[in-house]
Structure 1
């Protein structure tokens, strides 16, 4: 049995190494294209995210000639409204609007939040950007340069976790800066599977309208995935920019980390079951732990587990170097703990596909189609 587990662990490391190579190649990619079309940036707001004021403020002085910034909320009683209002008052020269609308067009609360903002947006190019990300002045140009290829309809960005001050935030940022960023790079550059993440999505409005429009997204939990899928269904391409948007996670507790990744696991399971099954093979630390437990805690399997954990931490440190992560070197020794937690979470969708999101309970169908649950 030792040899079987050893082979599985080796496969896991090989798969991860291939993903790291894809990331390294993407990070080194150089592409220039002067893009000057008007862009509408939609920022859905719900509650107070870590670093919210600075996150929103970073979008107010972008080095780009023509863009609008739309903050959208379901209620003026939402505490994020006061932050948005302060930003608007401070940056009077920036084209900022605040849209408040509690209309429910579907089961996805985020789409409900953004729907009126999207319908009122000025420009044919739209960026959806979550409120928990921060960018620098080059954000639009470094993202839009991938539209140089006329076949590209959607551009998403690499995501980098930043600012961890708690253990839960550290786990979150380790996951973003290893599994998520490597998976995004590999899927979008080496396969035909679009991996679009809602932290940052740029798309042509007319292309989305040809595929059913924003309305088509209203009942899907993974609206970001669906934007990419609708594009590829129309033989358009999804590109990934090597410009990093920083996802600021400072004060997460462990429960929030578990809730997010349990939900994400259920979503990935509903999006691509075969590919979801392969995820377990890309978690060598968890596979080594399972082998250690099944063996009755034998010494040989203990050596394999400890060796796998140390080697994985080293690879994750290198990945952190590639993405210019702000995680301190010593904290990468927590990465195997994160992998073990993610390994157990991987099994959840086989027993429960209900999701709790923004105060509501849903069942999920294919491609994360939502069904309201009582």
Structure 2
């Protein structure tokens, strides 16, 4: 009896996993070029916070100027006048005089979120009523703004989208893509397909008057992550977080294993504090718990434990199919790191309890300091 029950639970895990894959594959089949949606094509401010100089910044930030969108302007926000990315941004602005673009430097330390403190000056400058906050390491296709704007629908309060990793190098780079793509993006888009969308900070598209009506940027800085705060705000006021039809790419390149671990641990702590019920279920994410349940069923039925390899083969075959169909990195090395990723998930979950808060680009995510210090850009 127990063996049968465990077999049913293991089958249920596999069915849910396959369902999440199918939901994403359906999005691929129905994807169409962006057409004007509910709000048409309003003027949009593309707000890009920057911090430090990363290997792909010249490529990703340059895509800010190549948008096939009727009317938009770009505001780059840096916290420090000594940030090494500033010469690059000034060069890109000079290289594209046809695009309205500005660089603002300074940090308003009014929340405990350094990213919100950085974009504060841009948000409260002469921005459009529609603002798209986009991370610096996101590679924007020419129809990026068109797709984001067209995704605004009835009862929408925010449009968002996760990133998918491309161009990984080495084991750690491939592991980063395994987390970003087949795990996080798959689950986030599955939730959106079921009407339970939640925000991810890579892309956050707001109606500025709406946000101001409910407290402005200060509300988004109440929590350790602005995407968690934005999701809670939308649910509190009865509006939806909607995702774009498909995610946008982030070049990954080479990573260190410690970078992958620390980034995933940071996000895990954000989920623990922002979504405790969801966080409590995270040990069931990945193949480890389902595989153990399958082993229990096999042992109870007196069958060979080696049969669990067939179960895991079915599990990873679905994800490998998704990776190839979506155009994500899907060579044998990319598939080979999937079990390592799944082994890390419960280890990261357990480590999350060792401390509160986290460090991000040299900032300890804690209480806000006082007044702003602004430095005008040249």
Q: TM-score with structure 2 length normalisation?
A: 0.87
1:164-179 paired onto structure 2 within 5 Å: 164-179=168-183
Matched residue, 1:366: none
CA-CA distance at 1:98 after TM superposition = 0.3
String of CA shifts for 1:312-363, please: whole Å, max 9, x gaps: 321221121342213324421221111111221122234433322232444x
String of CA shifts for 1:265-318, please: whole Å, max 9, x gaps: 11112222222222322322354259879x99xx96752543344333212211
Residues 310, 333 of structure 1: 8 Å contact kept: no
Question: In 2, distance between residues paired with 1:109 and 1:91?
Answer: 29
- Number of equivalenced pairs: 360
Task: Kindly indicate whether structure 1 or structure 2 has the higher relative contact order, using CA contacts under 8 Å at least 6 residues apart.
Answer: 2
Residues 27, 246 of structure 2: 8 Å contact kept: no
1:1-374 paired onto structure 2 within 5 Å: 6-30=7-31, 32-33=35-36, 35-147=40-152, 149-192=153-196, 194-288=197-291, 302-362=305-365, 370-371=366-367
Question: In 2, distance between residues paired with 1:26 and 1:91?
Answer: 34
Which segment drifts farther, 37-46 or 306-315? 306-315
String of CA shifts for 1:193-243, please: whole Å, max 9, x gaps: x41111111110111111111122224222012223212322222211113
When residues 311 and 176 of structure 1 are mapped into structure 2, their CA distance, relative to the original with a 3 A threshold, is same
SS in 1 for 2:65: coil
When residues 223 and 2 of structure 1 are mapped into structure 2, their CA distance, relative to the original with a 3 A threshold, is same
Q: TM-score with structure 1 length normalisation?
A: 0.88
Residues 154, 203 of structure 1: 8 Å contact kept: yes
CA-CA distance at 1:123 after TM superposition = 0.3
When residues 307 and 125 of structure 1 are mapped into structure 2, their CA distance, relative to the original with a 3 A threshold, is same
Residues 285, 308 of structure 1: 8 Å contact kept: no
CA-CA distance at 1:371 after TM superposition = 4.7
Question: In 2, distance between residues paired with 1:5 and 1:351?
Answer: 32
Q: CA RMSD in A?
A: 2.5
Please, which runs of 5 or more residues in structure 1 have no aligned partner? 363-369
Residues 159, 176 of structure 1: 8 Å contact kept: yes
CA-CA distance at 1:19 after TM superposition = 1.4
Please, which runs of 5 or more residues in structure 2 have no aligned partner? 369-378
SS in 1 for 2:238: coil
SS in 2 for 1:246: strand
